[in-house]
Amino acid sequence: MNPIEIINELKKNKIIILKEEKDLHGILLKLSSKEMIKFEIKEENKYILTKEGEEILKTNSPEYILYCKSKEREIKTIECNKQILGNAIKQNLIKLNNNKLIPIINKEDIIKEELNNINNNKKEINELLLKRKLIKKIKEKTYKIFKGINFNLSLNSELITNINLQNIFLKDLSLKKYNFNTKGVLKQFGSLHPLLKLKEEFKNIFIEMGFQEMNTNLFIESSFWNFDALFQPQLHPSREMHDTFFIKNNNENYGEKTLIIPNNYLKRVESAHLGNNYNTKGYKTFNKEECYKNVLRTHTTATSTRYLYNLSKENNNSIYRKYFSIDKVFRNESVDATHLAEFHQIEGLVIGEYLNISHLKGILTEFFKKVGLNKIKFKPAYNPYTEPSMEVFAFHEELNIWMEVGNSGIFRPEMLEPMGFESNIKVIAWGLSLERPAMIKFGKKNIRDLMGHKVDLNFIKETGFVSFI
């Protein structure tokens, strides 16, 4: 029955008794939530016939059919199905004499009679019929439906379910007019953080420039890969506690990942730091124990170093690769409106023969053009692991200002040659942050309006598609 038919029946002050239909319950709940009807549900265990049971009702039970045949002609036991013969004997329809069937006169088909009366049979009879799979048990629901206090004949569209719309005659319905100007109800759903959307945009830029993404899953790194292998002096201020988060009790389970330092490579790095090789004065100090101190990585260049070291083992003197990474780094610095103790570093590097500062300027120009920054200029700078190094500045048309947009350089030979690279192999690289462009793009003055527990969830929900163009 559909809602219209239910209403029409109730209109005649009838109480409707219905068997459960799969969508009936939903309609009744809707009608009763409007107090248009009230209903009660009664559940009871019932028996129903199986297909085999229905077949017997149309004809007769197999044992009764055998009984009838034995009255028409002589039948030997060897001709019979054992189970059917057994049932016929059990029901006293047939006796056996010298392996021949002897029918007993005037017998009825008991099974057929019992199947005609399954909900009044004795328990043991139905147990037998269940065992022979002639009947099965079901839970039968009966709905008793009454008029509710708000019973009325107009049925608005809200009560119509799409399931039964096809069999409701629309002329019976008083539907209100469609309001095509109304706004839809915004459904609650999850939203990607705008920072992650911007990260995806930077990732797409690198990918369309032919860069491969590095696996930057080691938030904890040894000082060796974060500092020493980059020819960063062990006495450099950035290695102080006030700049770097050092990890206590080094031998936690991550130890085996970060504290595996190839011994021969460590020796070559040591000789570079001591100025004993690689055509450098070095820093005259090197304490191996410093290498094994785990830190929260201060830059993703730690991962770049791992990738470069692995590449150096490829014995390929005309190597050419382009790698990028965008992931969290950690600095033990005082936090303020634009700095937190962690931020996402974006890093790109190209390794190839005889790369030089012109290649670096070219690729930076191309990269920042894709970020929407068409006017850039370079300023000499210093990094412990790149020489020359350049700060990158760009003119932001909307803000009408020049701003620092990153840092770059060519990795020093004292970093590359201990890895095993020949002097013709050069690496150009650059870095910037993700939060700084995000703050500009989303108009946030305070980084806490972009990151952290104080972020306005509506900002996250309402920031739509993010792109540089």
Nearer to ligand FB9, 101 or 439 (CB): 439
Q: 392: closest CA among 356, 427, 365?
A: 365
- Nearest residue to ligand FB9 by CB is 431
Establish if 409 lies at the interface with ligand FB9 (CB under 6 A): yes
Nearer to ligand FB9, 36 or 373 (CB): 373
Sole binder of ligand FB9 in the list 347, 416, 417, 419 (CB under 6 A) = 347
Min dist. Cβ of residue 349 to ligand FB9 (A): 7
Task: Bin 436: left if φ > 0, else alpha if -120 < ψ < 50, else beta.
Answer: alpha
Counting residues that bind ligand FB9 (by CB under 6 A) gives: 25
Nearer to ligand FB9, 61 or 408 (CB): 408
Establish if 396 lies at the interface with ligand FB9 (CB under 6 A): yes
Nearer to ligand FB9, 72 or 398 (CB): 398
Establish if 345 lies at the interface with ligand FB9 (CB under 6 A): yes
Sole binder of ligand FB9 in the list 79, 397, 404, 462 (CB under 6 A) = 404
Q: Which stretch binds ligand FB9 (CB under 6 A): 93-101, 198-206, 256-264, 398-406?
A: 398-406
Three-state SS string over the chain comes to CCHHHHHHHHHCCCCEEEECCCCHHHHHHHHHHCCCEEEEEEEEEEEEECHHHHHHHHCCCHHHHHHHHHHHCCCEHHHCCHHHHHHHHHCCCEEEECCEEEECCCCCCHHHHHHCCCCCCCHHHHHHHHHCCCEEEEEEEEEEEEECCCCCCCCCHHHCCCCCHHHCCHHHCCCCCCCCCCCCCCCCCCCCCHHHHHHHHHHHHHHHCCCEECCCCCCEEEHHHHCHHHCCCCCCHHHCCCCCCECCCCCCCCHHHHCCCCHHHHHHHHHHHHCCCCCCCCCCCCCHHHHCCEEECCCCHHHHHHHHHHHHCCCCCCCCEEEEEEEEEECCCCCECCECCEEEEEEEEEEEECCCHHHHHHHHHHHHHHCCCCCEEEEEEEECCEEEEEEEEEEECCCCEEEEEEEEEEECHHHHHHHCCCCCEEEEEEEEECHHHHHHHCCCCCHHHCCCCCCCHHHHHHCCCCCCC
Establish if 403 lies at the interface with ligand FB9 (CB under 6 A): yes
Min dist. Cβ of residue 167 to ligand FB9 (A): 59
Min dist. Cβ of residue 429 to ligand FB9 (A): 4
By CB under 6 A, the residues from 313 to 342 that bind ligand FB9 are: 331
By CB under 6 A, the residues from 372 to 391 that bind ligand FB9 are: 373, 383, 386
Establish if 451 lies at the interface with ligand FB9 (CB under 6 A): no
Establish if 270 lies at the interface with ligand FB9 (CB under 6 A): no
Nearer to ligand FB9, 126 or 304 (CB): 304
Sole binder of ligand FB9 in the list 227, 407, 419, 447 (CB under 6 A) = 407
By CB under 6 A, the residues from 428 to 447 that bind ligand FB9 are: 429-433, 436-437, 440-441
Establish if 258 lies at the interface with ligand FB9 (CB under 6 A): no
Nearer to ligand FB9, 35 or 404 (CB): 404
Q: Which stretch binds ligand FB9 (CB under 6 A): 99-107, 113-121, 165-173, 406-414?
A: 406-414
Q: 372: closest CA among 198, 212, 214, 196?
A: 198
Min dist. Cβ of residue 206 to ligand FB9 (A): 14
Min dist. Cβ of residue 27 to ligand FB9 (A): 56
Nearer to ligand FB9, 331 or 426 (CB): 331
End-to-end CA distance of the chain: give it in Å, rounded.
57
Sole binder of ligand FB9 in the list 134, 371, 415, 419 (CB under 6 A) = 371
Establish if 311 lies at the interface with ligand FB9 (CB under 6 A): no
C-alpha–C-alpha distance, residues 333 and 377, integer Å: 28
Q: At what angle do helices 3-11 and 24-33 cross, to 10 degrees?
A: 60
| Tokens 């309609």, residue located | 27
Sole binder of ligand FB9 in the list 70, 164, 294, 301 (CB under 6 A) = 301
Min dist. Cβ of residue 394 to ligand FB9 (A): 7
Establish if 91 lies at the interface with ligand FB9 (CB under 6 A): no
Note the residues at the interface with ligand FB9 (CB under 6 A): 301, 331, 345, 347, 371, 373, 383, 386, 396, 403-409, 429-433, 436-437, 440-441
